[in-house]
Amino acid sequence: MTNSDSPINNENFLELIIRKDLDNGLNKNDLKFRFPPEPNGYLHIGHAKSICLNFGLGKIFSAPVNLRFDDTNPEKESIEYINSIKKDIKWLGFEWNSECYASDYFDQLYKWAINLIKKDKAYVDFQDQEIISDQRGVPTSPGVNSPYRDKSIEENLSQFQKMKSGDYNPGECVLRAKIDMASPNMHMRDPVLYRVMKTAHHRTNEKWKIYPTYDWAHGQSDFIEKVSHSFCTLEFEVHRELYEWFLQNIDTKKSLIPKQREFARLNLSYTIMSKRKLSELVDSSLVKGWDDPRMPTISGLRRRGVPPQAILNFCEKVGISKRENIIDYALLDFCTRKILNKISYRLMVVFDPIEVVITNYDENQSETLLAENNPEDKTYGNRKISFSKNIFIEKEDFKEEANRKFFRLTLGKEVRLKNAYIIKGDSVEKDDKGNIKKIFCTYDQKSKSGSGSPESLRKVKGTIHWVDKNNYENISVDVYDKLFKIESPDENPENDFKTYINENSSNSFKNVYAESNINNVDFDKYYQFQRKGYFKLDNKSSDKKFIRTVTLRDNTKF
Ligand code: ATP
Ligand code: MG
């Protein structure tokens, strides 16, 4: 790393690198970035950070950003993953310039490999992976040369040709670059360029029996696409020397050489951030698919009801830095609440109902009250809710006897029914076991919310939600908790991360009573069940099933 690359501030050191390159003569029109996922799983929130970075820089510099599928390992990749990745990027609100595939460059990569062999800079090695690895040794002392390293160019050309034709079996041989077995950088100790793999590829079908490694494919793909800046996560910093070596050695006259720079990956508490591990959770049915609402995938977050803007705001708050750390999951929840407070429709929903009888309300009467859909935004309008003599409230919102800090319903004290009247608790009816069956109250007829009467403006300490017993819908709600019991399930490599799974992370409530406006809910809208949290209609369920996105508040300050 040169001095000019060191972060000046944590927010935008990559942006500063680009500005410096422009100052040093790089043409603004030559700026181009890419987001390069391998289609071996669904995108997670860590990818969102990289998406926001690359597409964000594209916006700042009015430069194109390619979506490049790094599809060099057909054993793990599929069209399903490609489609999900495209869907997720669009949902986050970004548009790519070209949709590219490393597999489209397989012919060119092959030609470049031939050129390397012709320059005596690559050779076919017939040793197995373990021996190759042992021979690399340790950074502090030189490795051992492969006995296949000094074959003639002709021999290597013919063997590589045979690799391509499928004459060798997987594991029998690899093509390696001939660089420096004594380099202190282990990645320069004759890295592998190609391995034999007789797996059909989702795009090139049976054509190839050899597939390029990440290192061999990545920089060259950047170069072919004329990417100016190739941003990747910090673990690739040690690959940079190799990235540059390949570009210097592929015989190209074109002037724009892409520049690889690195930033810290996103780690989030109580979760894991690796497609391989997430796919283990899916395969072992520890979660119900990639879009399980507990998953840190974009599709899981979407299903849980996290709006795209919350993810963008979260990525912005996290920023881009050179230092790895673990971000508190509560920050994502904070960003989610902040957006949902502004955009969600309010409804009243009772999770654990108990009946309240308003004794001074006429049995044959019922009325329609008006309630704001979203007090944060008047343009959301009002909704009608019905009110009558019998209503349901939450069991926990009533106590027969309570201390002065209990601001909900109790005997002898007043509380406001949200969007309705002030009521006072008078008595209770109990069953044989002493459980309260009904609460009897009286209401203040003049205290209707929004009526403007002096009584309606009277301050009472608490407000509780309710639903009309004559007009409600039964819904079910899934409430999820964190997927892992500990902050860093990934931390201890000796313990399988799956042992830290929180077995009680999924709870269902079946008999939840909602105001009848629940019949008009929409899949693409966001809801707040007042005093309970933010909820989203589950788009995977045909019944009226909701998923809790997040609770209403948390004490963590950001
Ligand atoms: P995974 O281990 O989850 O598969 P990956 O890095 O192998 O991650 P890719 O599909 O290769 O996944 O990633 C595409 C891009 O997203 C890369 O540029 C990668 O650096 C970036 N990326 C992946 N994970 C994170 C993360 N946690 N934080 C920031 N960027 C990430
Ligand atoms: Mg990868």
| Residue 443 in tokens | 């209401």
> What gap in Å lies between CA 112 and CA 171, rounded to an integer?
22
Choose the weakest-confidence range: 7-21, 191-205, 220-234, 304-318: 7-21
Predicted local distance difference test score (pLDDT) of residue 495: 85
Closest of 278, 286, 193, 276 to residue 242, by C-alpha: 193
Predicted local distance difference test score (pLDDT) of residue 491: 80
- Which of 35, 233, 295 has the most ligand 1 atoms within 8 A of CB, as the residue to mutate? 233
Instruction: Compute the CA torsion angle 508, 514, 519, 521 (nearest 10 deg).
Output: -70
Question: 3-state class of 130 per DSSP?
Answer: helix
Assess whether the C-beta atom of 233 lies below 6 angstroms from ligand 1. Answer: yes
Decide if pLDDT at 3 tops 60: no
Give pLDDT tens digits for 330-375: 999 999 999 999 999 999 999 999 999 999 999 999 999 999 999 9
Higher pLDDT, 6 or 240: 240
Options 32, 38, 259, 394, the catalytic residue:
38
**Helices in 271-363 by DSSP H: which ranges?**
275-283, 298-304, 308-318, 329-343
Quickly state the pLDDT bin for 10 (edges 50, 70, 90).
very low
Percent of the chain with pLDDT over 70: 97
Decide if pLDDT at 327 tops 70: yes
Q: Give, in degrees to the nearest 5, the angle at Cα 235 between 229 and 236.
A: 40
Rounded mean pLDDT of 153-178?
98
Q: What is the DSSP letter of 283?
A: H
CA-atom Rg of the chain in angstroms: 31
**Using an 8 Å Cβ cutoff, are 15 and 60 in contact?**
yes
Furthest-apart CA pair in the chain: how many Å? Answer: 102
Decide if pLDDT at 245 tops 80: yes
Predicted local distance difference test score (pLDDT) of residue 557: 67
CA of 499 to the centre of ligand 1 (A): 24
> What gap in Å lies between CA 536 and CA 306, rounded to an integer?
9
CA of 337 to the centre of ligand 2 (A): 32
Quickly state the pLDDT bin for 6 (edges 50, 70, 90).
very low
- Which of 47, 237, 488 has the most ligand 1 atoms within 8 A of CB, as the residue to mutate? 47
Question: 3-state class of 491 per DSSP?
Answer: coil
Q: What is the DSSP letter of 115?
A: H
Decide if pLDDT at 5 tops 80: no
Assess whether the C-beta atom of 50 lies below 6 angstroms from ligand 1. Answer: yes
> What gap in Å lies between CA 372 and CA 132, rounded to an integer?
69
- Neighbour count for residue 407 (Cβ, 10 Å): 15
Give pLDDT tens digits for 124-148: 999 999 999 999 999 999 999 999 9
* Residue in the structure block whose two tokens are 């002065």: 404
For the chain, the average pLDDT equals 95
Which whole-number Å values give the CA distances from 7 to 2, 14, 555, in the listed order? 11, 8, 32
**Using an 8 Å Cβ cutoff, are 243 and 219 in contact?**
yes
| Residue 252 in tokens | 């190209």
> What gap in Å lies between CA 479 and CA 546, rounded to an integer?
9
- Neighbour count for residue 159 (Cβ, 10 Å): 21
Decide if pLDDT at 532 tops 50: yes
- β partners of residue 441: 358, 425
Quickly state the pLDDT bin for 464 (edges 50, 70, 90).
very high
> What gap in Å lies between CA 156 and CA 194, rounded to an integer?
13
- Residue 372 catalytic? no
Assess whether the C-beta atom of 67 lies below 6 angstroms from ligand 1. Answer: no
Quickly state the pLDDT bin for 2 (edges 50, 70, 90).
very low
Quickly state the pLDDT bin for 493 (edges 50, 70, 90).
confident
Give pLDDT tens digits for 400-450: 988 889 999 999 999 999 999 999 999 999 999 999 999 999 999 999 998
Burial class (CB in 10 A: 0-12, 13-18, 19+), 19: middle
> What gap in Å lies between CA 262 and CA 35, rounded to an integer?
13
Choose the weakest-confidence range: 7-11, 185-189, 281-285: 7-11
Which whole-number Å values give the CA distances from 296 to 85, 342, 482, 496, in the listed order? 14, 23, 10, 18
Q: What is the 3-state secondary structure (H, E, C) of 417-439?
A: ECCCCEEEEEEEEECCCCCEEEE
> What gap in Å lies between CA 47 and CA 297, rounded to an integer?
9
Ligand 1 atom nearest residue 51's Cα = 16
Cα 388 to the chain's mean position, in Å?
44
Rounded mean pLDDT of 468-485?
96
Decide if pLDDT at 164 tops 50: yes
Residue whose CA is at the smallest distance from ligand 1 atom 16:
47
CA of 345 to the centre of ligand 1 (A): 35
336-375 exposure pattern, b = at least 16 Cβ within 10 A, e = fewer: bbebbbebbbbbbbbbebbebbbeebeeeeeeebebbbbe
Closest of 468, 476, 546 to residue 511, by C-alpha: 476
Assess whether the C-beta atom of 274 lies below 6 angstroms from ligand 1. Answer: yes
Burial class (CB in 10 A: 0-12, 13-18, 19+), 88: buried
CA of 230 to the centre of ligand 1 (A): 13
Ligand 1 atom nearest residue 274's Cα = 3
Percent of the chain with pLDDT over 90: 91
Decide if pLDDT at 8 tops 70: no
Predicted local distance difference test score (pLDDT) of residue 184: 97
- Residue 275 catalytic? yes
- Which of 50, 276, 298 has the most ligand 1 atoms within 8 A of CB, as the residue to mutate? 50
Q: Which ligand is nearest to the CA of 276?
A: 1
CA of 152 to the centre of ligand 1 (A): 39
Assess whether the C-beta atom of 266 lies below 6 angstroms from ligand 1. Answer: yes
Give pLDDT tens digits for 41-53: 999 999 999 999 9
Decide if pLDDT at 4 tops 50: no
> What gap in Å lies between CA 232 and CA 47, rounded to an integer?
11
Predicted local distance difference test score (pLDDT) of residue 16: 95
Residue whose CA is at the smallest distance from ligand 1 atom 2:
274
Options 32, 203, 275, 408, the catalytic residue:
275
Residue whose CA is at the smallest distance from ligand 1 atom 26:
46
Predicted local distance difference test score (pLDDT) of residue 556: 67
CA of 38 to the centre of ligand 1 (A): 8
Decide if pLDDT at 554 tops 90: no
Predicted local distance difference test score (pLDDT) of residue 502: 94
Q: Kindly list the protein residues that place their beta carbon closer than 5 angstroms to ligand 2, a single-atom ion.
A: 38
Residue whose CA is at the smallest distance from ligand 1 atom 14:
37
Decide if pLDDT at 558 tops 90: no
**Using an 8 Å Cβ cutoff, are 327 and 321 in contact?**
no
Rounded mean pLDDT of 324-332?
94
- Residue 383 catalytic? no
* Residue in the structure block whose two tokens are 């060191």: 6
